[in-house]
Amino acid sequence: MTRSPLTLLAEALADRTVECIDLTNTLSPDFPVIVLPAEFGQCAPFRMEKVSRYDDNGPAWYWNNISMNEHTGTHFDAPAHWVTGKDLPSNTVDAVPTQDFVAPVVVIDISKEAAADADFVLTRAFLEDWEAQHGEIPKRHWIALRTDWYKRVGTPEYLNLKEDGTHSPGPDGSAMEFLVHERDCVGLAVETVGTDAGQAFHFNPPLPAHSILHGNGRYGLQCLTNLDKLPTFGAMIVACPLKIEGGSGSPLRVIALVERAPA
Amino acid sequence: MTEPLPTPKRKDPLGRSTLGHVPPGLRSRAATEMATYAAQGRFVLQSCDRCRSVTYPPRDRCPTCWGTLTWVDQDSGARVEAVTTIRHSTDNFFRNHMPWRIGTVRLDAGPVAIVHLHGDVHQGDRVRMTLRLDRGGNPALFAMPKEETPNMQDDPQLRCFTAHPKHRRILVTDGRSAIGQAIARALLKAGAQTVFLGDADPLMRYPGKAEIEAQEGIEPVSLNMTDSGSVQELAAQLGGRVDIVINTACFVRPGGVAFGAKLSDLQAGFDLGVLGLVRLAQGFAPAMSARSDDGVNSAAAFLDILPVSGLSGQFGYAGAAASAAARLSLLSGLRGEMQQTGIRVLSVLTGPVDDDWHQDLPQPKVVPGQLARAVVHALTEGQEFTCAGDVAKDLFARWQANPLLTMREENR
Amino acid sequence: MGLQSPYEGVAICAPTTVPYVRFSPESAHWWAGAALQSLAQTTGLGPADIDGFCFASFSAAPDTVVGMVQHLGLSPRWMDHIPTGGASGVMALRRAARAVQCGDAEVVACVAADTNQIDSYRQTLAGFSRFSQDATYPYGFGGPNATFALITDNFMRQFGVTREAFGKLCVAQRKNALSNPLALMNKPLSLDQYMSARPISDPVHLFDCVMPCAGAEAFLVTTPKKAEELGLSSARILATIERHNAFAEDSVQFRGGWERDREALWQRAGCRPEDMHCVQVYDDYPVIVAMQLADLGFCEKPDLSDFIAANEFTISGSLPLNTNGGQLSAGQAGAAGGFQNLTEGLRQILRCPLGDRVQGAERALVSGFGLVNYDRGVCTGAVVLERQALR
């Protein structure tokens, strides 16, 4: 009897030939958020106030009130997050097609380059070289940038904020045009606090990842972890943002399904 | 001269801390009104609205002509007529502080008063009278030497009326600002043993970080007042070792009410300023309360620095003023709670500070050094209300004279 | 101001003391009842016979004389509440005497009663008066010890009176107390012991201070006719004075209202200090004893040292003083402390003292001093008594 893909998946999950890898950082009050120039509104960090913990406020139960920005911790950017995506249909988290929450991922490893240069810029030329080496980036994939930046979480080097701003790797406009228009990516998934490079405000065009991704109905995933545990091809990302009415993004749990090589 | 205070030894872990009692607290309404001037460090006595005669103890009518009475600032000179050293008392607070010297003084302003005596003051001396608050928040006349004497601030009786930084361990909640750093330095200079310098985001550099953290006596600590967990964690670490808390955290952004206001700024401001103050009080006040009579470095004060605009509101800074108003209200509540345990709750009121968020306001603005001086003054005098800078002084005076007028003036 | 009207038609009888105890779990009501019971035993009078009631106490709260009348089953046609503490005996007498003289009452029981429960001393102090709440007790909470220490400090300096001189007064009173079986202090006191006692509030030392206790005192004011009917010995009033808040301008109290009124007292009494056979003055601290002796005309203040040196204050001495031992040796039973000088003065001239008798005593000076409302005693009074009839 032929077995359905989901049955096969279930079996693979059960016997661990497909593993779930957590790509999510823990939401905690001290997890850094993006820093904007002080005169702009700021991104609220994660906060938790106890409501009760088996005490006089609730003898048998424990729960907390939590608060945060839509873009706090490991989070999803919907197209409406950026001005370029403001008029697109289904551009908020409650409206984005559910089908997009599960998608394959291709991992582009720029960890060496990023280690050598925190301001490393991913260009179209780099991607073309990469494809020459690894093969063409398939359509409708998440593009995950492995930078190993997640290993810096808990240190000042994660935001890497200097007097002239943050310094972290990211794509330029040419790379984004290429990924969006020529490779039809689902979105860009990064370990850094934003999809754009730390200094991308000074790029031309500025903030190309946000601008081009969201202007074309694509998504961002930020503050991911464990991208180094994914294969270059073949993993599947499950990323379901909260269904916030008119929301621009959402903190979420992101996992990757990864096939283990048979023993 | 006064014997310099000895450096406190580490506590004997087998000993029980001395319970923090407060002096007898029953007072008339008139004496309570006197406390409001003591809270400002003003030496006042009641003067008759009709015959101008000056009277003490606090009365409700003039004993000369039965006219009504008003508290008026007075000449602080006096002469000590008689002195005694009390060696026995049935009151728990004074029992813990025996022997205790008091005297009868003839005030230059007229009346006779029984007063607390500084150790350098003797029978027949001319003295400078001060009106202070005792640990229970009640007014107390305290005779000081006419001229400065060596180690004057170390007098054990005087120290019961102050929260002097000397030998004390002090938490400054926000050391990331120039103000926090100036205050930390001033406290060390005033003899503080340690300043725990709060940093809301240790992963983020701030101007002056390397210099201040290198200074002897500074201990950087992680403290984010918008994060209950962070406050609780620090309180758990330091609770029993912090003698003074100085809240320098503040979030001021321009904005009106209907016009030009950002709700997210308002939220952030209230979270830090108002809820943060509550978090801080909940974290540190209980342990401090248990140590209000714990020797040389007993827990002494909870000091909050806040915009004077909390009294009146302020055009263009409505949110910041509202948050300050809420803080003033909370501080009044906290003061009432802490008066029962012997910890002072001090407010340093400031006008606009010379920082990034008051660029559009004209001078004069308060610079960090001014605030630091005001904080040290508030502690060394044990003064509940201290104004830093001319703007705060002016507004506070106007507000005392006519609160509703001041509200109008400040909101147009 | 003319002479005070004489106290004709007034008889004072039945000095009554309920033995003091250091601490008592009972109430002021209990002690007042004990005083009335004792008075009844002496006089044969019951509740229905008493038509006037004068009451003094610090510890009867929340009751006043009103509550006490109902509590003790009295139905007087005249009553008064005397809040002047150490001056309450003289003041109760003054008021009761005029009530009897004017016919407002015929048989007035004057009663002072106070209990002393554990901690009631501290509680009494804490709520004693508005000025003391606001302006005295928060200053070290030394109680009257501290206030009188300031008065003593100033007095010693101003008039050159030494501790030894105060010691002589205290030692003499203790000697007097040794014959009084009810005195709480019943061991001899030497000047050396006095001098070497521990300081309480400099310059006040242990034996300068009274010991608070529980107790009650009472006497009867009636007409000579009624006294005779009841078979009671009686005394008459030669003169009285009363003054409150005198010399408010003095920086530190060194004189009391007596100084202002003493001429009126002696003029009305028709005699002089030297005509007194015994003197019962209020003695919460020896400085006040010395102050009264001077203010009442026994000597001038600068001569106090010499005066004290020249006299013996024992029962058999040249100026028998506080012959029951006074409060300093017999104990201070609250407001009853303001009555005991009066009952002891009466007893001496009616020949029924608690201890040794002053031979030939027919006239007594009784002086009261009450209520340190702030920095000094506010209420002063004195009465000159003379024996009327012995029965």
* Inter-chain CB proximity B28 and C134 less than 8 Å: yes
The type of residue at C226 is K
The mean pLDDT value of chain C amounts to 96
Average the pLDDT over C186-202 and give the result: 97
| B85, part of any domain | yes
pLDDT bucket at B10, cuts 50 / 70 / 90: confident
The mean pLDDT value of chain B amounts to 95
- Catalytically annotated residues of A: 81
Percent of chain A at pLDDT above 90? 91
The partner residue sitting opposite C252, judged by closest CB among B81, B85, B91, is B81
Residue A263 has pLDDT above 60, yes or no: no
Same domain, residue pair B257 and B209:
yes
Please give the tally of structural domains in chain C. Answer: 1
Give the side-chain half-sphere CA count within 13 A for B179.
26
Closest among A239, A233, A237, A20 to A108, alpha carbons compared: A233
> Which pLDDT value is given to residue A262?
64
- Determine the distance in angstroms separating the CA of C261 from the nearest CA of chain B, rounded to an integer: 22
Average the pLDDT over C231-238 and give the result: 98
| B199, part of any domain | yes
- Determine the distance in angstroms separating the CA of B305 from the nearest CA of chain A, rounded to an integer: 22
Domain boundary among B123, B138, B159: B159
Whether the complex's predicted ipTM is more than 0.90 is answered with: yes
Strand pairing class (B244-247; B69-73)? unpaired
Other Cβ atoms within 10 Å of C1 Cβ, number: 5
Give per-residue pLDDT as tens, C2-41. Answer: 789 999 999 999 999 999 999 999 999 999 999 999 999 9
CB of B243 closer than 8 Å to CB of B297: yes
Residue range(s) defining the domain that contains residue B35:
29-159
The partner residue sitting opposite B83, judged by closest CB among C138, C141, C153, is C153
Residue A261 has pLDDT above 80, yes or no: no
The reply to whether B230 touches chain A by the CB within 8 Å rule is yes
pTM, two decimals, is 0.92
CB of C328 closer than 8 Å to CB of C207: yes
* Inter-chain CB proximity B204 and A41 less than 8 Å: no
> Which pLDDT value is given to residue C125?
75
Residue range(s) defining the domain that contains residue C63:
1-391
Give per-residue pLDDT as tens, C134-165. Answer: 999 999 988 899 999 999 999 999 999 999 99
Closest among C61, C91, C97, C60 to C78, alpha carbons compared: C97
Helix axes B390-401, B403-410, angle to 10 degrees: 130
Beta bridge partners of residue C280, listed in sequence order: C366
Same domain, residue pair B88 and B45:
yes
Other Cβ atoms within 10 Å of B364 Cβ, number: 14
Same domain, residue pair B265 and B345:
yes
- Both tokens assigned to C127: 């709520």
What is the DSSP code string of C79-105? EEE---GGGHHHHHHHHHHHHHHTTS-
- Both tokens assigned to B193: 């043993």
Where do the domains of chain A lie, and which CATH numbers do they carry?
5-43+70-259 (3.50.30.50)
CB of A147 closer than 8 Å to CB of A228: no
Q: How far apart are CA B335 and CA C375, in angstroms?
A: 31
The reply to whether C150 touches chain B by the CB within 8 Å rule is yes
CB of C349 closer than 8 Å to CB of C222: no
Give per-residue pLDDT as tens, A241-258. Answer: 999 999 999 999 999 999
The type of residue at B180 is G
Interface size between B and C, measured as CB pairs under 8 A:
119
| B124, part of any domain | yes
Residue C121 has pLDDT above 90, yes or no: no
| B10, part of any domain | no
B-chain residues near C131 (CB < 8 A): 57
Domain boundary among B159, B181, B208: B159
| DSSP 3-state of B315 | coil
Q: Which chains border C (3 or more CB–CB pairs < 8 Å)? A: B
- Determine the distance in angstroms separating the CA of B205 from the nearest CA of chain A, rounded to an integer: 8
> Which pLDDT value is given to residue C260?
97
CATH code, domain carrying C246: 3.40.47.10
Average the pLDDT over C255-272 and give the result: 97
Give per-residue pLDDT as tens, A79-95. Answer: 999 999 999 999 999 99
Mutation choice for A interface testing from B222, B224, B227, B262 by most A CBs within 10 A: B227
Mutation choice for B interface testing from C118, C121, C137, C141 by most B CBs within 10 A: C141
Residue C355 has pLDDT above 90, yes or no: yes
Same domain, residue pair B273 and B202:
yes
Q: How far apart are CA B106 and CA B124, in angstroms?
A: 10
Average the pLDDT over C107-113 and give the result: 98
* Inter-chain CB proximity C151 and B82 less than 8 Å: yes
Average the pLDDT over C219-240 and give the result: 98
Residue B251 has pLDDT above 90, yes or no: no
The alpha carbon of residue B14 and the mean position of all alpha carbons in its chain are separated, in whole angstroms, by 33
B-chain residues near C252 (CB < 8 A): 81-82, 104, 112
Percent of chain C at pLDDT above 70? 100
> Which pLDDT value is given to residue B58?
97
Percent of chain B at pLDDT above 90? 87
| B13, part of any domain | no
Interface of C with B in 212-251 (CB under 8 A): 248, 251
* Inter-chain CB proximity B203 and A42 less than 8 Å: no
CB of C173 closer than 8 Å to CB of C208: no
> Which pLDDT value is given to residue C124?
76
CATH code, domain carrying B374: 3.40.50.720
In sequence order, what E strands does B200-274 have?
Answer: 218-222, 244-247
Which of the two residues, B357 and B376, has the higher pLDDT score?
B376
Residue C123 has pLDDT above 80, yes or no: no
CB of A237 closer than 8 Å to CB of A22: no
> Which pLDDT value is given to residue C4?
93
> Which pLDDT value is given to residue A1?
65
> What is the C-alpha end-to-end distance of chain B, expressed in Å?
53
Q: How far apart are CA B124 and CA B412, in angstroms?
A: 55
Please tell me the least confidently modeled range out of A212-226, B10-24, B75-89, B229-243: B10-24
The mean pLDDT value of chain A amounts to 95
> Which pLDDT value is given to residue B142?
98
- Determine the distance in angstroms separating the CA of C96 from the nearest CA of chain B, rounded to an integer: 31
| B372, part of any domain | yes
Residue B360 has pLDDT above 90, yes or no: no
Do chain A and C touch: 3 or more Cβ pairs under 8 angstroms?
no
The partner residue sitting opposite A41, judged by closest CB among B227, B228, B264, is B264
CB of C89 closer than 8 Å to CB of C366: yes
Give per-residue pLDDT as tens, A146-176. Answer: 999 999 999 999 999 988 999 999 999 999 9
Residue B18 has pLDDT above 90, yes or no: no
Interface of B with A in 206-225 (CB under 8 A): 224
CB of C108 closer than 8 Å to CB of C52: yes
Same domain, residue pair B97 and B57:
yes
Tokens 């490893």 belong to residue:
A109
pLDDT bucket at C1, cuts 50 / 70 / 90: low
- Determine the distance in angstroms separating the CA of B121 from the nearest CA of chain A, rounded to an integer: 53
> Which pLDDT value is given to residue A73?
97
Domain boundary among B159, B182, B214: B159
For residue B223, what is the nearest residue in chain A, using CA coordinates?
A: A30
> Which pLDDT value is given to residue B362?
84
Q: Is A207 left (phi over 0), alpha (psi -120 to 50) or beta?
A: left
B-chain residues near A29 (CB < 8 A): 224, 227, 229-230
Same domain, residue pair B151 and B231:
no
Long-range contacts formed by B363-369: CB under 8 A, 24+ apart: B364/B389, B364/B390, B364/B391, B365/B389, B365/B391, B366/B391, B366/B392, B368/B177, B368/B178, B368/B179, B368/B181, B368/B182, B368/B183, B369/B182, B369/B186
Same domain, residue pair B218 and B303:
yes
